[in-house]
Amino acid sequence: MSAAAMAQEALLNSIPYCRWMGIKVLQDGEGLVLELPFDQKLIGNTILPALHGGVIGALLETAALAQVVHELDCVELPKPVDMAIDYLRSGRALASYARARIVKRGRRTVNVHAQMWQEDETRPIASLRGHVLLRR
C-alpha cells in the first residue's frame, strides 16, 4: 500500500461510521478505490437481501471526500454542500467498491462524481454528483 493510501486509510479510520462499516482504501492504476467488505449488519432489505440505501450513500460520499482530500492534499475534510445520489439497482450481499473523480475545481468549491459497483465496474449500482466546500 502506498503512503497516500495509508494516509487515506488512517483518515477513514478516524471517522466512526467508516470504521463501523469496515471501509478500506485500495489503490489501482487509476487512483483511489474504496472497498466495502460485505457484512450482514449492512443489509437493509432482508428479503432480497440488499444493502441499506444509507450504506450505499455513505460509501459514495466517503469516496468523493477521500478523492478530494487525496488529489488536493487537504489538511481538513471538505464540507459537503450538495450531494445527489442515483440508485440504479439493488446492492447485493457482496463486497462493494467506489471510485470518485473531480469534475471541476473552483477556488472554494469542488464538483465531484462517484460511482459504486460490485462485481463489474461497468455496471454501477449507484452514482453520486456533489459539491464540496474546501476549508482553508
Report pLDDT digits (tens) over 7-58.
Answer: 777 778 888 999 999 999 988 877 899 999 999 999 999 999 999 999 999 9
Domain residue ranges of the chain, discontinuous segments joined by +: 3-133
How is the chain classified by DSSP, letter by letter? --HHHHHHHHHHHTSHHHHHHT-EEEEETTEEEEEE---GGGEEETTTTEE-HHHHHHHHHHHHHHHHHHHHT-SSPPEEEEEEEEE-S---SS-EEEEEEEEEE-SSEEEEEEEEESS-TTS-SEEEEEEEEPP-
Q: What is the pTM of this model?
A: 0.92
Q: What percent of the chain has pLDDT over 90?
A: 75
Tell which CATH classification among 3.40.50.1820, 3.40.50.300, 3.10.129.10, 3.30.70.20 matches the domain 3-133: 3.10.129.10
pLDDT of residue 2: 62
